[in-house]
Amino acid sequence: MQNSLWAHYFIRIILSIFFLIIVINYIINPYNIFSHSYQGRYNYFKPYALSDRMTKFYEAKHLNPSTLMMGTSRIGLFKYTYLNPYAPKPIYNLALAGSSIYEQTRYLEYMIKHKNIKMIVWGLDFFSFNPDKKNEVTFEDDRLNKDIYLDDYITSLLAYRTLEKSIQTIKINFKHNYTKELNRPFFEEAQYFKQQGQPYSRNEINKNISNTLNEYKNHTEFLKSTHFSNPHSIDSGLKRVRYIIQLCKEKKIACVIYTSPVYVTHLDLIYSLGLGNTFDYWKKSILSIQPYNDFCTYNSVTSNIMNFRDSTHITSNNGEIIFAKNFKNSKIFVPKDFGYTVTSENINEHLNQQRKKHYESSF
């Protein structure tokens, strides 16, 4: 009898603990899976997402944006407010760090089909088309296919790791009142909150550039690939871009695409790895889908090391001039050689000029 009573108490204690974990995780909502209104100073700043593939999906669904920003972390560093003069609101930065073109197009496809999207601003990155690049480990097709993806809800309510993130979220918010600096309690805001401006010295940037060049040279998820040197290896990725552009036309969604700028030594790396033909084919093929501005070139902005945090990430403030160029805003100064407007008439000359500048920079 006594053993039965102890077992009963033990079960009640365990259930109480589980219930407490669920309540805390639900209220703090560190991954922003739930759309409830429990948003206060204690959980406004949310930098502890388990995965941007999970959190950004739900944030975008809850916000129901009119404009989406898409790409890798290169456009992910840009404040969505940079688009305020040009795009219908609300605007959400759905950029996925290190994403493949498959991941990007799957998220865009979902949002186009399920939400009232009016505009997409899409920064295209060459490495995303690498045929040997695998999707990020936390990317799940089922998350986009199912009405309810139970794994996310279980992780967000019951996982002890989530409880740790909830406690960390409370602590960091009580140390600082982020409501005065952020526009909304999204991971999307927290992600680029500490990535603004140029925090590095020239020596630190040089070290960062050396590190990223080594990563891109030696890792298959970036530029090292057994297939990438064949231009047609990227056809499947280009086909997915074409599919999204066609969906946009059918839904009357404005879609602005551009190629993201990288530091000049990163451009040199692309050519030195024998990827020049694929790089040119990539730019030509994008033009066959839709006209665009090419920022991924040798120019006065990409030649200035202080404009970069490493070899692939231009500083966030340059997002303003990229969008000004894309939306033809003459009130904001944009260097003449930054953002080449590619057309069928000038594409061959443009690519030849870029190769010439590469050879010149090599000597």
**For tokens 């990163």, what's the residue?**
266
How do the domains of the chain map onto residue ranges?
Answer: 2-361
Percent residues over pLDDT 70 in the chain:
97
Give the strand pairing for 254-259 and 67-70: unpaired
**pLDDT confidence bin for 191, thresholds 50/70/90:** confident
Averaged pLDDT of the chain: 94
Q: What are residue 256's DSSP bridge partners? A: 121
pLDDT higher than 80, residue 6 = no
**For tokens 């990288």, what's the residue?**
262
Rounded CA separation 146/162 (Å): 23
| H or E stretch covering 93 | strand 91-93
Cα separation values, 211 from 142, 238, 261, 310, 317, Å:
35, 29, 18, 8, 23
Give the per-residue pLDDT at 3.
62
- The amino acid occupying position 113 is K
Give the per-residue pLDDT at 37.
64
What are 45-74's pLDDT values in tens digits?
A: 999 999 999 999 999 999 999 999 999 999
Given a contact cutoff of 8 angstroms between Cβ atoms, the answer to whether 181 and 172 are in contact is: no
Q: What is the mean pLDDT of residues 303-331?
A: 97
Give the per-residue pLDDT at 159.
87
Give the per-residue pLDDT at 2.
59
What are 337-353's pLDDT values in tens digits?
A: 999 999 999 999 999 99
What are 229-267's pLDDT values in tens digits?
A: 999 999 999 999 999 999 999 999 999 999 999 999 999
pLDDT higher than 80, residue 43 = yes
Percent residues over pLDDT 90 in the chain:
85
CA 175 to chain centre: 28
Give the per-residue pLDDT at 196.
86
Cα separation values, 11 from 7, 85, 93, 152, Å:
6, 58, 45, 26
The model carries a pTM of 0.94
Give the per-residue pLDDT at 59.
96
Given a contact cutoff of 8 angstroms between Cβ atoms, the answer to whether 247 and 286 are in contact is: no
